[in-house]
Structure 1
Amino acid sequence: MKKEIRLYSTLFILAISALMLSGCGAEKNLKKGEKYLAVGEYYDAATQFKRAYQRTAPKEREQRGKIALKVAYCNERINSTQKAIAAYSNAIRYNQASTQDRLNYARLLLKNGAYKQAETEFRAVLDSMPDNVLAKNGLASAENAPQWKKEGSRYQVKRMDVFNSRRADYSPVLGGDQYDYLYFTSTRNDATGNELSGITGAKAADIFVSQKDEKGKWQKPEPVNGGLNTEYDEGACALSPDGKTMYVTQCQTDPSYPRYAQIVTSQRADAAWGKPEEFKVTNDTLSSYAHPAVSPDGEWLYFVSDMPGGLGGLDIWRARITSLGLVGVENLGAPINTPGNEMFPTFRANGDLYFSSDGHVGMGGLDIYIASPNKNGGYTIEHPGYPLNSQGDDFGMTFEGVHNRGYFSSNRNDGRGWDKIYSFENPEIVQNVKGWVYEQDGYELPEALVYIVGSDGTNKKVSVKGDGSFDYVIDPNVDYIFLATCKGFLNHKEELRVKPAEESEEYVMQFPLASITAPVLIDNIFYDFDKATLRPESTAALDELVKLLNENPNVTIELSSHCDYKGSAVYNKGLSQRRAESVVAYLTEKGISRDRLSPVGYGKEKPKTIRKKLTEKYPWLKEGDVLSEEFILTLDKDKQEICNQLNRRTEFIVLRTTYGMFDKDGKLKEDALQKQPSEKKKEDKKEDFDFFIE
């Protein structure tokens, strides 16, 4: 009997000791969890809070419920939706969930596709918070999402496993002149560093890139070359229109201070991206700045922030990009922003803004929305439906030029919440202009700008890409004027009338710009043999010159004719002078003022100097070669004849760019001031541009 009493006493003491040790362990885990939570390390905090929950006795209902809320909050932040739902359910069971907690729970049920259960929870929340926008939109989402999924849409979606890993892969961005590079963010094992992030439980994110091979097949992604990737998190990125600057979301590590996302920039040098440099958005150092996007005209930076002045949660803001930095920061406001989170802005080439939100009526989690500018100066919001959107998070779109196809990211159908990259396409009729701006008789001009004015009120400025090209979506039944400009070159204008089309159609336009500083060849000028008479087939080239001079009314030129070395110098000089005068006579007949034209015949005095572009056609010539008689006679007969043909040419060179701008007293005329396209009268969209040469 005494032995049994001693045994029971021993067991009782051990049980009490275990409870005491368990309680001490719970407190220790709680303290660690709060420490991690204070600096935003949600994964580590969730782990500690879970252990504290497990070490808290079930009979301590209030404490267990409070800890469950902490577990739910942390798992919600790291997209562990099912774990967060289970934790909220425990908090509700222990009567520790507030109405706001019930709202968070309902929103997670929506994200998990439990629409009926979410509907019940939203109704319960609205009983206590009848005016809550997120609860109202959540209820509408739960009611509508099943039908949207049933109806579907024209979007075709496919998971792209060539880009994906076992971890998170998200926010794709197409780059390259032919959209043959795909940049994206990944926490895969190949990312920089060896430590796991206390925020996500994975490695710190880096920017990776995949490139298409010669057959158009995407290759295995690799970390971006250069110093862009660091030991910190490099997240959602965006490219400037010219592809030379990358804007990147970066989260630096500080073990004793909360994490605030910031935007940094990296400059491209050849195929490598340089070390990131801080890009200051505002002087507010206690707010986050993330998810950069550049408007198609390159003039605005759109970004996401929680800074004061928003509508709640994360909002989309924008600021104008200048040489001195960002100016005029402004919130996009309603109807884009809501009390929820608006994130991941991006643009389609037609100017539509795409973004993701969990505050609008949707299918759950982050849904993708389209904000189209309307006539009132605001935006019309459209939900593109299923399968582009799902019950999970759908975000981070990128488009292949003007077409409604490209890539985006989603964590749909992933129980652990990892984001993956998907392709999308929406077959639709797209009419667009594909244009190239290049130096006449030379290479592309990546610094060029194209001004676009349409009879529907369109007034745009477009930067060209690295290959001098640009894409622009056009509308039927609109008259357009395209004016290409570049510093050091004359302007070139093209006009286009767009007719309705029953299938996608691309108009190809060329914008050869004549140099102000170098001689410009007038190709395809033909004369009768040994005479100065222009042949009929010359008129096409000369009419283009008339058009060029009309587009650049402040320019005067020297019109020169050249011969080869054959024949006497006196005869050749006289013949070339008469030929130059024949060209001038043709131009004046077409309305060009005679005092803008200076005909000069050089004979064989100025043999042609070879420019780089010509060496591609004639590899045996080098840039800088002068086709003098001495040089030509060193070549074989066939090459001699080619050089003689190159020497027999008609050219022009710009003499002045201020013709007609000053009065007789030498004062600048009022109507000679440069007019920007945005300042032009809208009464007549087809009136000529009146620009100075840059």
Structure 2
Amino acid sequence: MMSIKTNISVLFLLVGGFLHAQLKYNDADINFDNLLYVKAAKQYETLVRKGEDSQRVLQRLGDAYFYNTDMENAVKWYGVLFSKYEKVLEPEYAFKYVHALKGVGNYKMAKGIMKIYTEKLDVSEFKVAQMRNNDDALDELLNRQPQYYVSNLGINTPVADFGPIYYKDKIVFSSSRDSLRFETRVYEWNRQPYLDFFMADTTGSGSDLAHVRSFSSVLNTRYHEAAATFIPEGNVVYFTQNNYTHQTLGRDGEGTNHLKIYTSELRGGEWTEAVEVPFNSEDYSVGQPALSPDGRKLYFVSDMPGSIGETDIFVVDVLQNGGFSEPKNLGPTINTSGREMFPFVTQGKLYFASDGHLGLGGLDVFESEWGNAGFETPNNLGRPLNSNRDDFGYIVKETTQRGYFSSNREGGKGDDDIYSFQRMEETCEQTVKGSVIRKSNAQPMVNVVVELVDSDGNSLGRTATDPYGAFEFENVLECEAGYEIKISKQGFLPNDAAFSTTKQKDFVNDVPLEITKELNKLIVRENGVLKIKIDNIYFDLNKAEIREDAAQELNKIVEVMKEYPKMVIKIEAHTDSRGSDRYNEQLSDKRAKSTGNYIVSQGIEANRIESAIGYGEKQLLNQCDNGVRCSNEEHDVNRRSEFIIVNLN
């Protein structure tokens, strides 16, 4: 089954070489260049049977079927091409082969080709997400929960019907039906009548169309008209048409008839003769216009200089004086090295068709939201709205989530058909899991109580961590909502972590947390200063070596510092006033440094001890200075080691 839209593949809708007298030569290349792919394919097959299986012939044979949307034969001949010339093929042919494989539902083989070409694409200017090696993304798309009910319309015919657009309370669309003419003119490519505009009434809830009639005898010409858009008031239309004036087709230097955008105004109940927009050209195509809801921006499709791919989406401002700004490419977030086509704009969203972004095969419909820096990364709308064939021309009333789109999928009434859809309300089925580790040693913590709390502070459930420190909640979370995880365990400080869900369906939020022991009882505050308080450590007379009983006390310092891995201390050693001042200062300094060295030897980083200094008898705690009579107990008060906390967190 042919597709009016896809088969005119050189550009994007109905561009191409109209047939010349050259066709009297039954030559495959001439037929191919004139877009007569059915004839060309048969001729290339004859050449292959005669032994002519060069890369060029096989490429054109595969292309002839690909452009005619005969994906079964395209897969066959691209397969032969790859088996013989895979090492020298450009990424464009992997791109086509992947599309053809998806078109016949062979996603496994498509992913294999994607893997082969991932590395080549990294150094290529051919940039398409469709060819990135991302099995998970493709599998997610294939397995995504459907969001749409779709229905084939009763007005469809065996020929092309596509491109619906809202016009007041009606629908205007393009069709090859030719019910109004006694002498039918046929487009040689697909042996169908040329496209004209038709109008239909919506029925019931808008799920079907009826009472089809010609839209305008003025706008419908001898050649193709398609893809219209109307200003909000409905009295000005922009539409796509062959470069056609005064019964003559305009052509560039190579004989190609390009597309142009024309505009017309409704006056006295009749449309005026169409005139071109100023950014048309004789050298490239401009078409598929789409106005923003306020009518101030006009989006369109073109292959003009500056395009990223085969066809890109551009935008111009519609000025108050009736003029237009310079065309601006929407950039690489939207446009790829493939084809971006059929834009439709609502308040805050852009819908378009693309074969460059990751899809199911052929053109898929994508949705992009307007963000702070422009349109954001597009989202594939998934099955059943998208299929393994061409899906495009999406329009929607955001308030009802009802609309129409076009497709040449299997099971239709003819070529391209128009379908209605109802988009289901999105349900977010995100969940949350996480883990808890002890901050001091990064080891998992078992039996930590974990609570899930919503943004209003309501508890949604409790659980406990397993032996691996992991937890998980079965609660279904709302999209784009805030939540909090709270943890507690006896002997440890409570902790919490906030997180927000996104718009991604079936997403599991992962929330890691740390837990810390309660402030150790050895940590005290004296005169506004935090210290680690242990029993006094003792040294042998005139010695600075760490005794066993001192080590037991210092191990308490080590344990506390391991529990608080960011803690930094300084060590101060003091003596009483007995002995000379100089001797006491030197001995206490040796003991302070010996104490610090022992702590470091037990696994504490040296930089966590800011200093280790002996002060001798300079900082006595009582009156027992030189020459003052004091008891042994009073002198002992001044003999001490202090561990002052410089930094705790």
> Shorter-chain TM-score: which interval?
0.5 to 0.7
Assess, with a 3 A threshold, how the Cα gap between structure 1 residues 146 and 410 changes in structure 2: closer, same or farther. farther
The one of 230, 235, 254 aligned to 1:244: 235
Assess, with a 3 A threshold, how the Cα gap between structure 1 residues 274 and 184 changes in structure 2: closer, same or farther. same
Alignment of 1:61-140 (within 5 A): 61-63=52-54, 66-92=56-82, 95=85, 98-100=89-91, 101-132=93-124, 134=127, 137-139=130-132
Aligned equivalents of 1:142, 1:195: Cα separation in 2: 47
Aligned equivalents of 1:142, 1:164: Cα separation in 2: 37
Assess, with a 3 A threshold, how the Cα gap between structure 1 residues 32 and 263 changes in structure 2: closer, same or farther. farther
Judge conservation of contact 1:164–1:420 (CA < 8 Å) in 2.
Answer: yes
Aligned equivalents of 1:92, 1:106: Cα separation in 2: 12
Aligned equivalents of 1:163, 1:271: Cα separation in 2: 26
Equivalent in the alignment of 2:381 = 384
In structure 2, list runs of 5 or more residues that go unmatched. 1-21, 244-248, 427-649
Residues 372-426 of structure 1: CA deviation (Å, up to 9, x unaligned)? 1113445343233222222222211222363321111112225998221111122
Judge conservation of contact 1:191–1:205 (CA < 8 Å) in 2.
Answer: no
Equivalent in the alignment of 2:624 = none
Do structure 1's residue 296 and structure 2's residue 293 form an aligned pair? yes
Aligned equivalents of 2:132, 2:104: Cα separation in 1: 14
Residue type of the alignment partner of 1:390 = S
Assess, with a 3 A threshold, how the Cα gap between structure 1 residues 278 and 337 changes in structure 2: closer, same or farther. same
Residue type of the alignment partner of 2:200 = S
Do structure 1's residue 360 and structure 2's residue 357 form an aligned pair? yes
Do structure 1's residue 48 and structure 2's residue 39 form an aligned pair? yes
Aligned equivalents of 1:147, 1:214: Cα separation in 2: 35
In structure 1, list runs of 5 or more residues that go unmatched. 1-26, 430-694
Aligned equivalents of 2:73, 2:382: Cα separation in 1: 27
Equivalent in the alignment of 2:172 = 183
Equivalent in the alignment of 2:278 = 280
Assess, with a 3 A threshold, how the Cα gap between structure 1 residues 245 and 378 changes in structure 2: closer, same or farther. same
Do structure 1's residue 152 and structure 2's residue 145 form an aligned pair? yes
Alignment of 1:93-492 (within 5 A): 95=85, 98-100=89-91, 101-132=93-124, 134=127, 137-139=130-132, 144-160=137-153, 162-176=154-168, 179=169, 181-190=170-179, 194-212=184-202, 218-252=209-243, 253=249, 257-269=255-267, 272-282=270-280, 284-322=281-319, 323-348=321-346, 350-400=347-397, 402-413=399-410, 418-428=415-425
Assess, with a 3 A threshold, how the Cα gap between structure 1 residues 165 and 113 changes in structure 2: closer, same or farther. same
Residue type of the alignment partner of 2:284 = S
Identify, as 1 or 2, the structure richer in helix: 1
Judge conservation of contact 1:126–1:135 (CA < 8 Å) in 2.
Answer: no
Equivalent in the alignment of 2:17 = none
Equivalent in the alignment of 1:58 = 49
Assess, with a 3 A threshold, how the Cα gap between structure 1 residues 141 and 239 changes in structure 2: closer, same or farther. farther
State the Cα RMSD in Å.
3.3
Aligned equivalents of 1:275, 1:169: Cα separation in 2: 24
Residue type of the alignment partner of 1:260 = H
Residues 265-289 of structure 1: CA deviation (Å, up to 9, x unaligned)? 232346544443222325x421110
Judge conservation of contact 2:103–2:388 (CA < 8 Å) in 1.
Answer: yes
Residues 469-522 of structure 1: CA deviation (Å, up to 9, x unaligned)? xxxxxxxxxxxxxxxxxxxxxxxxxxxxxxxxxxxxxxxxxxxxxxxxxxxxxx
Aligned equivalents of 2:134, 2:364: Cα separation in 1: 11
Judge conservation of contact 1:397–1:407 (CA < 8 Å) in 2.
Answer: yes
TM-score, length-scaled by structure 2: 0.55
The DSSP-based 3-state class of the residue aligned with 1:406 is strand
Aligned equivalents of 2:134, 2:180: Cα separation in 1: 37
Aligned equivalents of 2:326, 2:177: Cα separation in 1: 38
Assess, with a 3 A threshold, how the Cα gap between structure 1 residues 191 and 55 changes in structure 2: closer, same or farther. farther
Judge conservation of contact 2:238–2:262 (CA < 8 Å) in 1.
Answer: yes
TM-score, length-scaled by structure 1: 0.52
The DSSP-based 3-state class of the residue aligned with 2:298 is strand
Aligned equivalents of 1:79, 1:54: Cα separation in 2: 17
Do structure 1's residue 34 and structure 2's residue 20 form an aligned pair? no
Judge conservation of contact 2:128–2:337 (CA < 8 Å) in 1.
Answer: no
Judge conservation of contact 1:370–1:384 (CA < 8 Å) in 2.
Answer: yes
Equivalent in the alignment of 1:576 = none
Identify, as 1 or 2, the structure richer in strand: 2
The DSSP-based 3-state class of the residue aligned with 2:109 is helix
Residues 215-249 of structure 1: CA deviation (Å, up to 9, x unaligned)? 98732322213311111111111111111112111
The DSSP-based 3-state class of the residue aligned with 2:228 is strand
State the Cα distance separating 1:153 from its structure 2 match. Answer: 3.0
Alignment of 1:541-690 (within 5 A): none
Residue type of the alignment partner of 2:324 = L
State the Cα distance separating 1:71 from its structure 2 match. Answer: 3.1
State the Cα distance separating 1:194 from its structure 2 match. Answer: 2.1
Aligned equivalents of 1:170, 1:369: Cα separation in 2: 17
The DSSP-based 3-state class of the residue aligned with 1:311 is coil
Residues 57-98 of structure 1: CA deviation (Å, up to 9, x unaligned)? 6352335x5334223323433433334333323434554872
Equivalent in the alignment of 1:491 = none
State the Cα distance separating 1:210 from its structure 2 match. Answer: 0.7
Assess, with a 3 A threshold, how the Cα gap between structure 1 residues 207 and 32 changes in structure 2: closer, same or farther. farther
Judge conservation of contact 1:302–1:316 (CA < 8 Å) in 2.
Answer: yes
State the Cα distance separating 1:115 from its structure 2 match. Answer: 0.4
The DSSP-based 3-state class of the residue aligned with 1:219 is strand
State the Cα distance separating 1:329 from its structure 2 match. Answer: 1.5
Aligned equivalents of 1:155, 1:314: Cα separation in 2: 28
Assess, with a 3 A threshold, how the Cα gap between structure 1 residues 333 and 417 changes in structure 2: closer, same or farther. farther
Judge conservation of contact 1:306–1:315 (CA < 8 Å) in 2.
Answer: yes
* Bigger mean CA offset, 401-410 vs 76-85: 76-85
Assess, with a 3 A threshold, how the Cα gap between structure 1 residues 194 and 94 changes in structure 2: closer, same or farther. farther
State the Cα distance separating 1:149 from its structure 2 match. Answer: 3.7
Judge conservation of contact 2:31–2:40 (CA < 8 Å) in 1.
Answer: no
The DSSP-based 3-state class of the residue aligned with 1:221 is strand
Aligned equivalents of 1:195, 1:127: Cα separation in 2: 49
Assess, with a 3 A threshold, how the Cα gap between structure 1 residues 191 and 351 changes in structure 2: closer, same or farther. farther
Assess, with a 3 A threshold, how the Cα gap between structure 1 residues 271 and 386 changes in structure 2: closer, same or farther. farther
The DSSP-based 3-state class of the residue aligned with 2:240 is strand
Percent identical among aligned pairs is 28
Residues 577-632 of structure 1: CA deviation (Å, up to 9, x unaligned)? xxxxxxxxxxxxxxxxxxxxxxxxxxxxxxxxxxxxxxxxxxxxxxxxxxxxxxxx
Residues 626-680 of structure 1: CA deviation (Å, up to 9, x unaligned)? xxxxxxxxxxxxxxxxxxxxxxxxxxxxxxxxxxxxxxxxxxxxxxxxxxxxxxx
Aligned equivalents of 1:28, 1:94: Cα separation in 2: 31
Aligned residues: 393
Aligned equivalents of 2:23, 2:47: Cα separation in 1: 12
